[in-house]
Amino acid sequence: MAIRDDRPHYLIAPDPGDERLTRAVTGQDQTGAAVETRVVEERPLTIFLNGQEIVTAMTIGDYPEYLALGFLKNQGMLQPGESVLRVDHDDDLETVVVRTDGATRYEEKLQKKTRTSGCAVGTVFGDMMEGLEGLTLPQAELRTSWLYALSATINRTPSLYLEAGAIHGTVLCKEDRPLVYMEDVGRHNAVDKIAGWMLSEGVEPADKILYTTGRLTSEMVIKTALMGIPVLASRSGFTAWGVEIAQQVNLTLIGRMRGQRFLCLAGEQRLLRDADPAHGDDEPAKQRRKGARDG
Amino acid sequence: MAIRDDRPHYLIAPDPGDERLTRAVTGQDQTGAAVETRVVEERPLTIFLNGQEIVTAMTIGDYPEYLALGFLKNQGMLQPGESVLRVDHDDDLETVVVRTDGATRYEEKLQKKTRTSGCAVGTVFGDMMEGLEGLTLPQAELRTSWLYALSATINRTPSLYLEAGAIHGTVLCKEDRPLVYMEDVGRHNAVDKIAGWMLSEGVEPADKILYTTGRLTSEMVIKTALMGIPVLASRSGFTAWGVEIAQQVNLTLIGRMRGQRFLCLAGEQRLLRDADPAHGDDEPAKQRRKGARDG
């Protein structure tokens, strides 16, 4: 058994104490007693690319610059070789303007809208499958001990989910270490924020693992593949088209992770079964409840 | 205590045996053993209004006509007084064409897109708040015994969720009786299918309750309010904007329903606490897991 350091190595972790991200509201419980609770914020953020308004996203509002960059990148609206000159967020206007040295306009792409199955409204512009033709993700190793360690660490990390519920999380990981943990009312926003961070920091995707609390839909699989990440794992379940695309691009798709159990429906050849049962034993009740309906 | 008939009274219920809605796939479990499982389908469906392409939705594919009608209705694209002449579904082309006696075109509305926080990608065209100004939902009674009975019945109803996971459910109810139970990969699709059914059948909304497995986001609250339904209930949690809009339009918003517990964050005055604890006792483990992460 390898010696593990159990402290998380997050570069970015949720900040459940950030008062801008939740709001105190009062209501009544089943007995009529007054109850004060915290609920997550949900704010509009309008993304502009150079002079053009692209979309309004509903988001909790942290990391607007990463969200804008990652959204544009994942939509294929930033071309390889196109340089981002500036990203300006205006909190009052609820806008982010991404300025590049390109001048491409996307009217045609914008006219074709697909409502994907991603949680919290992933709008995809243009052809959803664009960029996937001929794409094959790089070979990589995926140890089952990493999966168990990641799951255990992420589930125990203080988060807005544990504080207020009604939110999705996505975590960029390397081996058994979670690196960047983003949360948002929309799961696609959490992924886009990770993509924006990777773009800003010039992070290599080939040795990474993406972990999500949400379902493994076509949208999630496509985003992960276009980001160049060869492994996508979740506590939740699959859709048929998500599985089909993962098989097509050779993405390792792991779902229904609960305690020691999981199901791999694509890219099994990356799996190395070195599992240490100590990291995969039964989960505490608090974790056990997570993600079932959404999966 | 009123005498209750415990048999569900569904007019439409999930059909987990419908083989078009799930697909058998094979993979491996954590031990490397081959496993066959069923996963939900996720198909594109392109909706046309008269000659105009409006949107492509990702859906499990049941009730395409209701989905198209309800989507257009909930987007404000069918005007009061506008008659629907025909709804044509083409299974091969994956299209639904809704034909009306109106000729309104929605280019301007279509240009403004908002990615909402609804699960599985609710795209909202135009101003999300359009139609809410001055709207106040009708007074109605809501007994806590109904909430407990509905929750117990719905959780025990055979569904695609119980069969394959990765799907959301929304149920139109009257008093303690669930009437129409729709499921879809997108929660917003499930609601739109209910709206389409109500429009087709001329169903009165004022005495109904909408139950959803998903989160109580702004999108869900707005859709429910525009449908004229005064009560929205869920096992899952709230967003701040969802709560704010519910308070504004006087919608009764019930969340975090688990066993006997729930939280009411808007429209408390409709609640009549006649709860019968026999319907609200602890849930079996299978039900207890549902919906936590998504809430």
**What is the least distance, in Å, from the CA of A39 to any CA of chain B?**
5
What pLDDT, on the 0 to 100 scale, is given for residue A108?
55
Indicate the pTM of the whole model.
Answer: 0.86
- What are phi and psi for residue B149, nearest 5 degrees? -65, -45
Give which of A119, A270, A282 to mutate to test B binding, by max B Cβ within 10 Å: A119
- What does the alpha-carbon distance between residue A218 and residue B120 come to, in Å, rounded to a whole number? 11
Alpha helices in chain A (DSSP H): 64-74, 107-111, 144-156, 160-164, 187-201, 218-226, 240-249, 285-288
- What does the alpha-carbon distance between residue B293 and residue B244 come to, in Å, rounded to a whole number? 22
Mean pLDDT of chain B: 86
User: Which stretch of A118-132, B61-75, B141-155, B268-282 has the lowest confidence by average pLDDT?
Assistant: A118-132
Query: pLDDT per residue over A34-68, tens digit each?
Result: 999 999 999 999 999 998 888 889 999 999 999 99
Mean pLDDT of chain A: 86
Query: pLDDT per residue over B188-200, tens digit each?
Result: 999 999 999 999 9
- What does the alpha-carbon distance between residue B142 and residue B146 come to, in Å, rounded to a whole number? 7
- What are phi and psi for residue A199, nearest 5 degrees? -65, -45
Surface-to-core class of residue B112, CB atoms within 10 Å of its CB (0-12 exposed, 13-18 middle, 19+ buried): middle
Q: What SS3 state is found at B53?
A: strand
Collect all residues of chain A within an 8 Å Cβ-Cβ radius of residue B239.
Answer: 39-42, 166, 185
- What does the alpha-carbon distance between residue B275 and residue B294 come to, in Å, rounded to a whole number? 26
User: Which stretch of A87-96, A140-149, A267-276 has the lowest confidence by average pLDDT?
Assistant: A267-276
What pLDDT, on the 0 to 100 scale, is given for residue A170?
97
Query: pLDDT per residue over A172-188, tens digit each?
Result: 999 999 999 999 998 89
**What is the least distance, in Å, from the CA of B256 to any CA of chain A?**
9
What is the average per-residue pLDDT within B106-121? 52
User: Which stretch of A109-113, A192-196, A204-208 has the lowest confidence by average pLDDT?
Assistant: A109-113
- What does the alpha-carbon distance between residue A135 and residue A130 come to, in Å, rounded to a whole number? 10
What pLDDT, on the 0 to 100 scale, is given for residue B153?
95
Quick one: closest CA in B to A242, which residue? Answer: B42
The single-letter code of the amino acid at A151 is S
User: Which of B239, B260, B262 has the CB atom closest to A39's CB atom?
Assistant: B239
Instruction: Tell me, yes or no, if B264 comes closer than 8 A to chain A by beta carbon.
Output: yes
pLDDT at A119 over 80: no
pLDDT classification of A102: cutoffs 50, 70, 90: confident
Would the CB atoms of A239 and B39 count as touching at under 8 Å? yes
Cα A112 to Cα A69, A126, A128, distances in angstroms:
21, 5, 10
Query: In the Cβ-directed half-sphere of B86, how many Cα atoms lie within 13 Å?
Result: 6
Q: What SS3 state is found at B270?
A: helix
Query: pLDDT per residue over B200-225, tens digit each?
Result: 999 999 999 999 999 999 999 999 99
Q: What is chain A's percent helix, strand, coil content, to nearest 5?
A: 25, 30, 40
Instruction: Tell me, yes or no, if B115 comes closer than 8 A to chain A by beta carbon.
Output: yes
- What does the alpha-carbon distance between residue B187 and residue B194 come to, in Å, rounded to a whole number? 11
Can you state the angle between helices A64-74 and A187-201, rounded to 10 degrees?
90
What pLDDT, on the 0 to 100 scale, is given for residue A121?
39
Query: In the Cβ-directed half-sphere of B156, how many Cα atoms lie within 13 Å?
Result: 12
Chain centroid offset of residue A143 CA: 21
Would the CB atoms of B217 and A164 count as touching at under 8 Å? no
Collect all residues of chain B within an 8 Å Cβ-Cβ radius of residue A40.
Answer: 237-240
**% of chain B exceeding 90 in pLDDT:** 69
What is the average per-residue pLDDT within B71-84? 88
pLDDT classification of B280: cutoffs 50, 70, 90: very low
User: Which stretch of A107-111, A224-228, A268-272, B238-242 has the lowest confidence by average pLDDT?
Assistant: A107-111
